[in-house]
Structure 1
Amino acid sequence: MATASISARPDVAPKSRYRPELQGLRALASGLVVVYHVWLGRISGGVDVFFLISGFLITGQLYRAGLRGPIAVRPFWGRVVRRLLPAAATVLLVTVAAGMVVLPEQRWLQAIREVVASALFVENWRLAADSVDYFAQHDAASVVQHFWSLSVQGQFYLVWPLLVGVVVLAARQTGQELRPLLAITLLALFAASLLYSVELTAANQPLAYFDSLTRVWEFALGGLLALGIDEIRLSRAVRVALGWIGVVGLVSCGLALDVGSQFPGYVALWPILSAAAVLVAGATGSRLGVDRALSSRPLRYLGDLSFALYLWHWPVLIFYLVGRDRAEVGWRGGLVIIGASLVLAALTYHLVEKPTRTAKLGARVLRGDYRVGALALVPVLLAAGTWHIVSTNTAEQVAVVGDDDHPGAMALEAGAGAGDDDAELIPSLVTLHEDFAGIDDCTPSALNDELKLCATPTAGPPTRRIVIVGDSHAEQYIAALRPIAEQRNWQLVAMLKGACPFSAVSDTVPGDRRCIAFNAAATQEIVRMHPDAVFTVGTLNVRRGLSEHTPQGFVDRWRSLDEAGIPVLAVRDNPRYDYAPAECLQRSGRGAPGCAPPREEFLAPQAPYTALRDVPPNVHFLDFSDHICPGTTCPPEIGNVFVYLDDNHLSATYLTSMSPIVGRAVVTAMGW
């Protein structure tokens, strides 16, 4: 690719070359994504290939446009809108319609939020804000969470022409050549983004997976390749070998690497460099070259379908699993899913993508592409709004916890009524998934950017102050403590971070430096505040197989508070399941024995902390297992109240019903 001087007489902009192997590479990447998702339950690295190809193609296109003159940003965006929105909107519309029929009601509100976020290309940030685990079991996954990658690409298409446009303007103003200046800019972005990606992946991998900035280096590397690929001179034999090395690297990436815990840090260089090797190999002209296969008509056609196939395969997979009540699809089910996805992708390509790209609708009108985008986007937002209205109407209820028919945990108390067996369960299935506790009035801590001090109001000086610290399981006990705090004028102060129990180390995500730093700052704030008690979780990982334990990191944190003379209330954690008890009950009916697993499979007769010898004297243990798993089972409902809101969090409604029980235990333990 010739170097062009913009200061003097500009060179003729190089012409773009059609590279059929690119479509085959797209086909390979999308095929790997689908196969790994459907049959292997793993991540392939194929999405990273999409990012590299986008950076390669778009940077080359913008560079050539910059050689000819100023970059026309608005027309570029319009073409992107026409290219992406019609197919994406079609999938989202069908997903909304199918979701209302197939998805359990408790997943509706989350699905609605994510459909809207996907339509607006911010799904990656929606998932990051909700602390979604992308690698959780597929049957419990969001039906549109795969739109995170399309959202990242949409943000790239928004920013990249502006970036290149600024570089083009700078080159013209300073008289510098465009290609070196653009290459330096992309190299700086590549280095900064890769460094950030490595650091954030080590500190908080789930967030790093969805963060747009951790992916910039993949687009930038594609752009650097676009600027320099014509200058690479290799023999045919080397290019043949390079092409096959790249393909083997792509196919093996998801099997050789634990993508779920390592991406998108430096390990993501594996699929990126593999794809780059295929691009550098190019058209070898050899019968042995991988480009011969990638340029074949079937793979080129599959490459044409790759965008729609990516969009369809995930909702088809989730609806299959939910509809058939399965956690895995099996080989036959996988063939059905892939076959259905291919048919839907072909229909979308021929009936939606191609017609809207070539349609005259809006083609001769200023901002016509945006009108096409609006025609695609508005129905999705209207459908999501309608679904929300249906959800709201479905969730209407007048029953409250504590009335005669909904005693919740109090139904287990001697002499208490259990409520009418025919009464509706609360909260409603639609709102159950949102039934989290919390405190709204928060102020940031000066010690840590993530630490917020959230306090309940009191009538004058509080009689007692209790700090609730740890993860979301500790947070849920706010629902149990708040009523007794209001009665006795206690103040509750929350210092909480998801998936970060109060420990001296990172017990749930090994090496999570942000969690360790958060707890260190929380400890300083607690010592400074010197509350009457600290309420936290005292055990971890209560799963089938009696895996519950009390980590040493918990004890070390308690000891640091003992040195400051601060009492600790450590509550035994609740069981965690590999399914949502409420969904089991919805499918199998109330009273179904399969929805109430044996208590002995999760909870040992003695809590693990009873065997510890080095527990500091300031710690008082609380065990409410008899109110979560009464008798010999762990039922999904007690006293006509759902016990769990998902597969591991106690519902705030049920914990509210436990308030007298929890309050009594706290007062007794503390001797107040």
Structure 2
Amino acid sequence: MAGLETVDRAPGTTRSARRPEIEGLRGLAAVLVVVYHVWIGRVSGGVDVFFLLSGFFILGMTARSAIRGERVALATTWTRLFWRLFPTAGLVLAVSTVVAAVLLPASTWSRNLHELLASAFFVENWRLALDSVDYYADNGAASVAQHFWSLSIQAQFYLLAPLLVLAVARWARFRGADVRAALLAALAAVALASFAHSVIATSSDQAFAYFDARTRLWEFALGGLLALVIDRVRLGTVARAVLGWVGVAGLVTCGAVLDVGAAFPGYLALWPVLSAVAIIVAGRTGGADRLLSTRAAQYLGKISFPLYLWHWPVLVVFLVLAGLPAAGPVGGLVVVAVSVALAIATHHLLEEPLRAVSLARLGRVRAPALVAACLAPALVALGVWSAVAAAGAGAPVALGDPSHPGALALSGALAADHVVDGDPAAPVEPSLARLQDDWADYRAGCAPVADHPVLEECVPISAEGEPQRRVTLVGDSHMQQILPALEPLAREQHWEVRTLVRARCPFSTASETDPADASCIAWNEAAIEHLAAAPPDAVVVSASRDVRQGLTEQTPEGFVAAWQRLDAAGVPVVAVRDNPRFDHRPAECLEALGRGAPDCEIPRGELLAADPPYALLDGVPDNVGFLDLSDEICTPTTCPPEIGNVLVYLDDNHLTASYSRTLSAAVSQRLPGLLGW
């Protein structure tokens, strides 16, 4: 991804030779990433090429030094490597911070702040991995720094690679073993272990695995292996020419042929990685390498790093300001043109002048300090923005706040203008600046379930002493969002509340979100077995799903089958009717059009039928009681973004924790009766 010297030994040669086709390969990978992001909305596999090339150069360089017996100076190596990343990354982060603070809506600030900060410390991949488990990464608006996940993995590899080479080389010399053989064995072991983990992790939790650095290590390791064996590859000219064209064709068609975003990385990542390997092994044949060695391809390779970094924030800002879900043909050209212009300016005005700086002359202290200082402007900008945002964020909505009654505003006669029901002068809460932080946090007392390690059970609400009741919430994030509504009753009655939550996997005997997701089915089966083996006093699950315009709400057969399984185990069930989902984010509509704007309110009759779907089903067991909170989430006529001065929705389908908390009166009134308590 970052610019690296394209110098290595070509197949069939006896001395080092320049490999211009590799620079062109980097440019091709960057173009594919940009094209797929801007126009197609899918993953291209180009990032995996960057990872392979990083391993090819970094591991190859450090391994050859170790094999020759040269000293691998960690501090010097790290300084030189990060000098390639930090200046450009720091510039893009600083500019993105200022642009996001000035141009983007306040409702996006929290997410952008968190991810920009994570990116500045090169841990964005782990931030997104953890968020994806809690649903957030897929349901919130994309941040201007989301693409830094790959650069974060690359930076983590930069830290790890010299350590691995140094440790293996020292071990080999201590044992009297051949250093080259030891490095080959170590890299092969890393590649095999990482690839196996990638396949397993992707099949069980693809959202987390996508950003997990461990699922990508094999790509770096394979690049290192290739660097150490490529000089021994012997293929005929025709075979290498064919291999080169096959590699280019495979790389270009990868994202179009495979829906790599849905099951990536896993074994599907072999496609782009092996395509790149084919191009590197092919070397110079006068075939595909001639295309990749053209002046245009070489220049794209030189600007590939800033192009990758600039295109994403330009795309995000364009989509937000234009109010579009996709760039389209003309808008995409604007995004690409601006991105290329910024990449060219960055390359010539920043990267090339800095390459003339001699880090060796600066010394062991000043050189690392200069490298680290490249991130200072971004960190300062983030600190200022964070302080400004915090100062205007306001306090969380407290239960019983007369100025912010939320759902309590619907308990009596509804005022004609429900937006200001409560104190007419009160601002809306949670503030748009901290809206994306207003989520029900359930990760407390979490531990794997002993008899079913695929499950993680948490205890977000515990009782003092022996609990009077034990209640378990099971399902996806729509169960998680009920916690604030349940907490006051649980505290008052001394209940212990546990959670079994998996993103995009409602409680069912099937996989409702993705029928092909076998891991969700296995997770639900484990949940049923665990609940039957150690029955709680009650289980709370979803009663329906997919409440959208057009009266699409349904209660799948898998839901009922799961309830029947719990009925056979003697476990009482409370099934909660789902809340509406939208094709937009209601809070952003309110932000754009103002509070009380009619265009931000969807007629209730278009979302919710008078009779819920579960009321029309046969076979519902007697152990199930239904909790319908629709009258507390929608008015008699509409489903608005704000009720009682409280924002109802966090994104396009999840309740804010503040609004969920105002549902507690309704939950406290109805839930015990449903269970006969």
What TM-score does the superposition give when structure 1 sets the normalisation length?
A: 0.92
Given candidates 417, 421, 427, the residue that maps to 2:430 is 427
Within 5 Å, which residues of 2 pair with 1:628-643? 628-643=633-648
CA distance in 1, matches of 2:474, 2:514: 17
Cα offset, 1:575, TM superposition: 1.6
* 2:53 partner letter: I
1:369 equivalent to 2:371? Answer no
- Indicate the residue corresponding to 2:655 in structure 1: 650
- Indicate the residue corresponding to 2:630 in structure 1: 625
Within 5 Å, which residues of 2 pair with 1:354-433? 354-360=352-358, 363-397=361-395, 400=398, 402-415=400-413, 418-433=421-436
- Indicate the residue corresponding to 2:302 in structure 1: 304
- Indicate the residue corresponding to 2:38 in structure 1: 38
Q: Secondary structure at the match of 1:145?
A: coil
- Indicate the residue corresponding to 1:216 in structure 2: 217
* Stretch deviating more after TM superposition (580-589 or 173-182): 173-182
Q: Structure 1's 134 and 151: CA in aligned 2 closer, same or farther, altered over 3 A? A: farther
- After superposition, the C-alpha distances for 1:150-176 in whole angstroms (9 at most, x for unaligned) are 111111111111112222223323443
- Indicate the residue corresponding to 1:9 in structure 2: none
Within 5 Å, which residues of 2 pair with 1:535-574? 535-574=540-579
CA distance in 2, matches of 1:55, 1:134: 31
- After superposition, the C-alpha distances for 1:401-438 in whole angstroms (9 at most, x for unaligned) are 53333221122222466224443111111222111224
Q: Structure 1's 63 and 464: CA in aligned 2 closer, same or farther, altered over 3 A? A: closer
- After superposition, the C-alpha distances for 1:568-620 in whole angstroms (9 at most, x for unaligned) are 11001112223211011101112223222233443333222123212111001
- Indicate the residue corresponding to 2:53 in structure 1: 53
CA distance in 2, matches of 1:415, 1:215: 58
CA distance in 1, matches of 2:185, 2:673: 67
Q: Secondary structure at the match of 2:574?
A: strand
CA distance in 2, matches of 1:566, 1:398: 36
Q: Structure 1's 174 and 473: CA in aligned 2 closer, same or farther, altered over 3 A? A: same
Question: Would you say how many aligned residue pairs link Structure 1 and Structure 2?
Answer: 659
CA distance in 2, matches of 1:300, 1:398: 54
Q: Structure 1's 145 and 399: CA in aligned 2 closer, same or farther, altered over 3 A? A: closer
Q: Structure 1's 495 and 49: CA in aligned 2 closer, same or farther, altered over 3 A? A: same
Q: Structure 1's 358 and 236: CA in aligned 2 closer, same or farther, altered over 3 A? A: same
* 1:501 partner letter: P
Q: Structure 1's 162 and 461: CA in aligned 2 closer, same or farther, altered over 3 A? A: closer
Q: Secondary structure at the match of 1:77?
A: helix
CA distance in 2, matches of 1:589, 1:572: 29
* 1:567 partner letter: P
CA distance in 2, matches of 1:345, 1:624: 51
Cα offset, 1:302, TM superposition: 1.3
CA distance in 2, matches of 1:479, 1:663: 12
CA distance in 2, matches of 1:194, 1:439: 32
Cα offset, 1:356, TM superposition: 2.3
- Indicate the residue corresponding to 1:11 in structure 2: none
- After superposition, the C-alpha distances for 1:38-87 in whole angstroms (9 at most, x for unaligned) are 01111111001111111111222112211332322221111011110111
Flag structure 1 segments of 5+ consecutive residues without an equivalent: 4-13
Q: Secondary structure at the match of 1:535?
A: strand
- After superposition, the C-alpha distances for 1:499-558 in whole angstroms (9 at most, x for unaligned) are 332223433344556545554454455445544322221112223443332233322332
* 2:644 partner letter: G
CA distance in 2, matches of 1:553, 1:265: 28
Cα offset, 1:128, TM superposition: 0.4
1:504 and 1:557 in contact (8 A); partners too: yes
- Indicate the residue corresponding to 1:8 in structure 2: none
Within 5 Å, which residues of 2 pair with 1:225-236? 225-236=226-237
- Indicate the residue corresponding to 2:20 in structure 1: 20
Root-mean-square deviation (Å): 2.6
CA distance in 2, matches of 1:399, 1:439: 18
Q: Structure 1's 626 and 346: CA in aligned 2 closer, same or farther, altered over 3 A? A: same
CA distance in 2, matches of 1:337, 1:633: 38
Cα offset, 1:621, TM superposition: 1.2
2:586 and 2:641 in contact (8 A); partners too: yes
Q: Secondary structure at the match of 2:639?
A: coil
Q: Structure 1's 154 and 455: CA in aligned 2 closer, same or farther, altered over 3 A? A: closer
1:330 equivalent to 2:328? Answer yes
- Indicate the residue corresponding to 1:74 in structure 2: 75
Given candidates 562, 583, 586, the residue that maps to 1:581 is 586
CA distance in 2, matches of 1:226, 1:653: 55
Cα offset, 1:148, TM superposition: 0.7
CA distance in 2, matches of 1:400, 1:2: 64
1:451 and 1:521 in contact (8 A); partners too: no
* 1:446 partner letter: A
Cα offset, 1:340, TM superposition: 0.7
1:87 and 1:308 in contact (8 A); partners too: yes
CA distance in 1, matches of 2:31, 2:280: 18
CA distance in 1, matches of 2:674, 2:595: 36
Given candidates 475, 495, 500, the residue that maps to 2:480 is 475
CA distance in 1, matches of 2:604, 2:84: 54
Q: Structure 1's 601 and 179: CA in aligned 2 closer, same or farther, altered over 3 A? A: farther
- After superposition, the C-alpha distances for 1:232-269 in whole angstroms (9 at most, x for unaligned) are 22232322222222111111111100011121111111
- Indicate the residue corresponding to 2:445 in structure 1: 442
1:127 and 1:210 in contact (8 A); partners too: yes
* 1:426 partner letter: E
2:396 and 2:658 in contact (8 A); partners too: no
* 2:450 partner letter: A
CA distance in 2, matches of 1:48, 1:441: 35
CA distance in 1, matches of 2:137, 2:284: 37
CA distance in 1, matches of 2:637, 2:446: 44
* Stretch deviating more after TM superposition (623-632 or 254-263): 623-632
- Indicate the residue corresponding to 1:201 in structure 2: 202
What TM-score does the superposition give when structure 2 sets the normalisation length?
A: 0.91
Q: Structure 1's 322 and 401: CA in aligned 2 closer, same or farther, altered over 3 A? A: farther
- Indicate the residue corresponding to 2:102 in structure 1: 101
Cα offset, 1:457, TM superposition: 4.0
Deviation above 6 Å: which 4+ runs of structure 1?
132-135
CA distance in 2, matches of 1:569, 1:358: 68
Q: Secondary structure at the match of 1:614?
A: coil
Q: Structure 1's 439 and 122: CA in aligned 2 closer, same or farther, altered over 3 A? A: closer
Percent of aligned positions with the same letter in both sequences? 50
2:473 and 2:498 in contact (8 A); partners too: yes
2:641 and 2:648 in contact (8 A); partners too: yes
* 1:303 partner letter: G
- Indicate the residue corresponding to 1:161 in structure 2: 162
1:123 and 1:151 in contact (8 A); partners too: yes
* 2:34 partner letter: V
* 1:359 partner letter: V
Q: Secondary structure at the match of 2:602?
A: coil
Q: Secondary structure at the match of 1:164?
A: helix
- After superposition, the C-alpha distances for 1:182-216 in whole angstroms (9 at most, x for unaligned) are 22222222222212111111111111111111111
CA distance in 2, matches of 1:119, 1:399: 31
Q: Secondary structure at the match of 1:94?
A: helix
